[in-house]
Structure 1
Amino acid sequence: MSTYYTDDHEWVRVTGDHAVVGITRHAADQLGDVVFIELRAAGERFAKSDEIGVIESVKAASPIYAPVAGEVIQANQAVIEQTSILNDDPEGAGWLYKVKLADVAEVSGLMDADAYAAFVA
């Protein structure tokens, strides 16, 4: 399992041709208290950089962009129903999607943990 990051502050945890997608701790901290999350339904396909959801916080509404192309296998209903999970554990229980990757090689263009840490520093 490898984790990659985007400059839009999403993370992608890849296992084979499947991945889990979410937002980083940095993004969650910048948003503040999340009050609403809208996610795509299972079966929906998307291209890299497509808007795949919206997170609304007490500060702003922010789009979620697809870090890779693929198909939604599952949206995290728990985080939709209890938005505080996203603030409490954005890189764990606060994941947003499980996806089937359209092209596993696409993750090679994303940052590793060290590059992302340097990016947000």
Structure 2
Amino acid sequence: MYRTSAMKQYQTVNIQAQTSGASPHRLIQMLMEGGLSRLAQARGAMERGQIALKGELIGKAIGIVGGLRDGLDLEKGGELATNLDGLYEYMVNRLMQANLKNDAAALDEVSDLLRTVKSGWDGISQ
């Protein structure tokens, strides 16, 4: 279920990136920005008691993280790609827990992790 959602998220951003002429590097940045945005929106929905919206937004964030994970090349990426794969898997698990338990701290944790990965990605020159 989440793999399909992840691919749809990835394809949506990919189509938008191609239209705007974004590089593959920028595409990953856009996915990360989209994930952070959905997490912030989900936290707000959680605080307002908007359970359905919270679930929808967390689902979108899971899809984005899944898209990032699917984009890893574990053969060429070596240890870094393997570590990111594990981290993305952890993020998805924490997001599912956040949704089930209405756990804002889990959303914050994933947001912090994604910001850290994004910061490293942003530091890579194209």
- TM-score (normalizing by structure 2): 0.29
**Structure whose alpha-carbon radius of gyration is higher:** 2
